Amino acid sequence: METEQNYNSLFKAANLFVAGATIFAGALQLLNGLNAFLLSLFIIAFGGVIAALEIKPELVPKVTPYLSFLLSFLGRGGFYIFLGVLISGGSIFRGLIGFLLVIVGVGFVSLEFVGSIEPPPSMREVVSFEEEDII
């Protein structure tokens, strides 16, 4: 039980780091032209969604129909890699943030293939009695 709590704390810290770094990197490129402005709005929104899921896990059932890929290590890791690549251009600082996001993403993808680690509460789909098949 204590090990699971340690993993949950580690996942929460990693997810909040990704959310904060994503929002910060998106804010850095807001004023670099129209394309960069639009891209940064999406990046900031993605960071906000990650932060919201981590801070309020009760939002998971509401976003599951739209962002169900965030409920698996493989999907979340792939998403972090995608964000890291989007962020990485333009400056050395954003390149460093993008690189760190890719590293975290690769870590999450590798956890998909380790069966002994349970996903944190922000990555668990909540099943209600109405959705469950009861015979």
Q: How confident is the model at residue 3 (pLDDT cuts 50, 70, 90)?
A: low
Residue 74 has what pLDDT? 92
Spell out the residues 6+ positions from residue 83 whose beta carbon is closer than 8 angstroms to its own. 18, 22, 43, 46, 47, 98, 101, 105
**Domain ranges across the chain:** 2-123
Q: Is the pLDDT of residue 61 over 90?
A: no
